[in-house]
Amino acid sequence: MSNQLISSRKKLNTVTTMLKKGKYMAAVQAIHDGLILFLKNPVMKGERDEFEELIFKVTQSLNNDKKIREVYPLIISYTPGEERALLDAMRELLQELQKALNQSVQNDAQALIARKQEELDKGQEHLDNQNWDEAKDVFDQLVKDFGGDTDLKADIADRYLNAGRYKEAFHMLDDALKDDPNAIHLYNRIGMVLRKMQDFDTAEKYYLKALTLTSEDEYLHYNVGRLYYDWKKWAKMAQSAQNALNINPDFNEAAKMLKFAQKKMA
């Protein structure tokens, strides 16, 4: 027996075990590949009898598998000598299994999105009712369940920020930065939170870090100017406003900021 026929027999012999383990794609792929190897090689009568019996066995295993029947309700028939027809059926079955897998993945993704939104709404309700501990429990569990989802953490931070819970917002954003250290919008948000907490020194550090990542964002420069306004550092406020105007001369709010800072310095 040739090496390819030995490989074909080995593949076909794995089918029943893989079906029992729920490895449906792998099982059908093994039949598909085994049939191709079988068809490529001439066989003696004894070898053909062995393979026909083995192919019939794996075909029956497919027909008796409930999961396969759900995806492919047609009876998979095999007639000795018509291995090419069976090969076509395996190709069709692989396509149906792939469709079912894609749909399953899509359904799982939609279920996760729905669950995430449901928990966000629950946490928001606790915030609205000023049930701070309950809200924290819900949000902390969400972060634990969804791992390194920086957008989720930023969303939760915004909810804390809107509720005036600046400390919680800062910790959530700081955690998000660990997942994505180059996320400029996170530095910007942290700067805003720290400014509201009147931790101006730390806010400035985060803003300056953001500016090392991009210096061409006029809104970032404007937000830095807002920090210096609260901090009453008029020269730095004027420079930030001027930086914003250098990027966007039509930025009216930055122009007002610059005029205010210049008046204070005068």
| 91 and 171 share one domain | no
| 190 and 232 share one domain | yes
**Cα 79 to chain center, whole Å?**
46
What are 244's two structure tokens?
A: 């914003």
| 99 and 52 share one domain | yes
Does residue 119 lie in a domain region? no
pLDDT by residue for the chain (266 residues), tens digit each?
A: 688 888 888 998 998 888 888 888 888 899 999 899 888 888 888 888 889 999 999 899 988 888 888 888 888 888 888 889 989 988 988 888 888 887 776 777 788 888 889 999 999 999 999 999 999 999 999 999 887 788 899 999 999 999 999 999 999 999 999 888 888 889 988 998 999 899 999 999 999 999 998 889 999 999 999 999 999 999 999 999 999 999 999 999 999 999 999 999 98
| 160 and 67 share one domain | no
SS3 for 91-149 is HHHHHHHHHHHHHHHHHHHHHHHHHHHHHHHHHHHHHHCCCHHHHHHHHHHHHHHHCCC
pTM for this entry: 0.59
| 134 and 79 share one domain | no
Alpha-carbon span 164 to 77, nearest angstrom: 68
Q: In the chain, how many domains are there?
A: 2
**CATH code of residue 249:** 1.25.40.10
Does residue 171 lie in a domain region? yes
| 94 and 179 share one domain | no
| 131 and 259 share one domain | yes
